[in-house]
Structure 1
Amino acid sequence: MSLLTHHDALLLDLDGTVWEGGRAIPGAVEAITGAGLPGIYVTNNAYRAPGDVAEKLGTIGLSVGEDQVLTSAQAAIELASEHLTPGDPVLVVGSDSFRGLATQAGYVVVESADEQPRVVFQGHNPATGWAQLSEAALAIRAGAIHVASNLDTTLPSERGLLVGNGSMVAAVVSATGEPPVAAGKPGPALFRSAAARLGASRPLVVGDRIDTDIEGGNAAGMPTFQVFTGVSGHFDVLRAPREQRPTYLADSLAELNHDPRELRPGAQGGFTARLDSSDLLLDGGGPEATPIQALRTAAEVAWASEYRVKRIRPVGEHAKTAVGAWW
């Protein structure tokens, strides 16, 4: 029995799930094309326009239309509409594509706080610097509403974790003392909008970050599939609060067609787990047992406890090997 038979659509994160720095994660393209389900790519990255993202996905072997990409910039424009009317001035601290979306929505994009923008949009742009952040701070202090496309503090790349939009937003918050309204994940709106586009009633949310993809999917009331090809690691999952716990745990997208009973947290691979105060003891396993089986075994026990696990104590050769692979 395949997990895919239980769902009618895939809502896929991009960075750390499908690609890393624009390069396909091994096996991701094959898993998506082999799934045979309609999908939408739901990304917190507001840098590129949906059409540009679709084109870039084509270069790694995925045939994707512009309507199959939903970005946090689009969500931010939609979210701000309740505060704006066509013709209102807005300041966009972000990419040209973000400015284009604001213009298409009927707003006048300005460059200075002196032009009294009603909303400040902020999304990822590597070119953003002190001058742009300062204009945003001035506008917000003058009464503009601060709408952030997303609050991801880091951005995965082939070199490691880079500074994300959330870290840049934090600089503006530090200067103004005003928290922003956030449009992207972990809010549920992106996922609900994506499912509505497809007319899906049983979508599966797929991602690599428990604090955005998984929390957002859970908030939307959808099953979530966690992969370990991006930001969140095995220890993060074990210590995750309830709202960030995925339904399924997998090494990568290649396991999308596995049996859902195998993918859920629970004892497997011959491993056993128990709690000793805030320590989790993992024992057993066998020569063919895998690190992800050890994690599923440990997660069931860790999540059933009212205490947060502080330390993992592997017992025996196979458990030590499995936990050693989590790093």
Structure 2
Amino acid sequence: MSLLDFYDSLLLDLDGTVWEGGRAIPHAVETLTASSLNTIYITNNASRAPEDVAKRLQTIGLEVTDKQVLTSAQSAVSLVRESYPAGTKVLIVGSESFRDLARAAELEVVDSADENPEVVLHGHNPETDWAVLSEAAYALHAGATYIASNLDTTLPTERGLAVGNGSLVAALVSATGVRPAAAGKPQPTMLQQAAKVLGAQRPLAVGDRLDTDIEGGNAAKMPTFHVLTGVSGPIALLEAPAEQRPTYIAQDLRDLHRRPEELVPGAQGGFTARVDGADVLLERGDDAADPLAALRTVLEVAWSLRRPPELIRPMSAAAEKAASAWW
């Protein structure tokens, strides 16, 4: 039985997991098209409306509706409405679609701190500039509540890691001393909302970033599936604190079709691992073994330690070959 047989739905991150800069990550579309599970796409990126995200997913070959998309902007607006009534004034650092979501939730969107907004909502928008950030700073200094869609410091693109919403949030924190509440991952809210939308009983949270996707899934008490196609690579896994450790470690989405026991940390590929002082020794191994088999072998031991190992020391030719693929 494959991993997919044990779950009834997939809660999928987008950037770094399904696409990168709007281009499909290899094998993602084919794998998801072949899956019969209910799926929902959950993104910390607040710059696009759900229907726009769905259309972009359609262009890479996925059959998706806007009901299968949940953005951090939607969650941020929901957070406001949990505590504030209709008609509350909000100043939005973000895209026009973020403003549309706020208006649809019966919030009054204003453009100036002089209009005394009660809340500043902050989401990713490539057009955000000094003037917009300064207007938000004025409002925060005047006592407005600060809510960010997400705190991702970087955003994966086809050219590499670009500046993410969290980096611009950091500028406002530096200028005002006000730290925001965050709606997106790693808070469990979005994943819990997504599971509720699907009526899921056994959801699997899928993502590429340990400090958002995986930590969020763990916080929501869901099994987590980490792919090495985006931000967090082998070194991040080796150094991951307990709350950021995934249930399954995969190369890409194709591994959803593998057996669960092949994807969890543990001895694989003929490798063994043991502690030697502050180091972990990687020993033995089959010549043709997958580097991820070696990584999963090491992770079982590394995660049993009180702190990350100082070194991973390959002790065989096969171990040296496997470990060299991690760096």
Question: TM-score normalised to the size of structure 2?
Answer: 0.99
What does 1:53-64 align with in structure 2 at a 5 Å threshold?
53-64=53-64
1:278 is displaced (CA, Å) by 2.2
1:83 is displaced (CA, Å) by 3.0
Please provide the CA RMSD for this pair: 0.8
Aligned match of 2:291: 291
Aligned length, in residue pairs? 327
Q: Is 2:26 the partner of 1:26? A: yes
1:49 is displaced (CA, Å) by 0.3
Q: For residues 93-139 of structure 1, what are the alpha-carbon distances to aligned partners after superposition, in whole Å with 9 as ceiling and x for unaligned?
A: 00010010011111111111110001000000010011111111110
**How far apart, in 1, do the equivalents of 2:227 and 2:171 lie?**
30
* 8 Å Cα contact 1:35-1:256 kept in structure 2: no
**How far apart, in 1, do the equivalents of 2:83 and 2:218 lie?**
27
Where in structure 1 are there 5+ consecutive unaligned residues? none
Aligned match of 1:319: 319
What does 1:274-285 align with in structure 2 at a 5 Å threshold?
274-285=274-285
1:80 is displaced (CA, Å) by 1.2
Q: Is 2:179 the partner of 1:179? A: yes
SS class of match (1:295) = helix
What does 1:180-219 align with in structure 2 at a 5 Å threshold?
180-219=180-219
Aligned match of 1:17: 17
**How far apart, in 1, do the equivalents of 2:277 and 2:131 lie?**
51
* 8 Å Cα contact 1:84-1:118 kept in structure 2: no
Q: For residues 186-216 of structure 1, what are the alpha-carbon distances to aligned partners after superposition, in whole Å with 9 as ceiling and x for unaligned?
A: 0001001000001000000000000000000
Aligned residues with identical type, % of pairs:
63
Paired letter, 1:29: V
**How far apart, in 2, do the equivalents of 1:312 and 1:15 lie?**
30
Where in structure 2 are there 5+ consecutive unaligned residues? none
Q: Is 2:243 the partner of 1:243? A: yes
**How far apart, in 2, do the equivalents of 1:289 and 1:303 lie?**
22
* 8 Å Cα contact 1:35-1:257 kept in structure 2: no
Q: Is 2:153 the partner of 1:153? A: yes
**How far apart, in 2, do the equivalents of 1:221 and 1:10 lie?**
14
**How far apart, in 1, do the equivalents of 2:312 and 2:161 lie?**
25
Paired letter, 1:302: A
* 8 Å Cα contact 1:225-1:246 kept in structure 2: yes
1:177 is displaced (CA, Å) by 0.5
Aligned match of 1:119: 119
1:323 is displaced (CA, Å) by 1.1
Question: TM-score normalised to the size of structure 1?
Answer: 0.99
- Give runs of ≥4 in structure 1 deviating > 6 Å: none
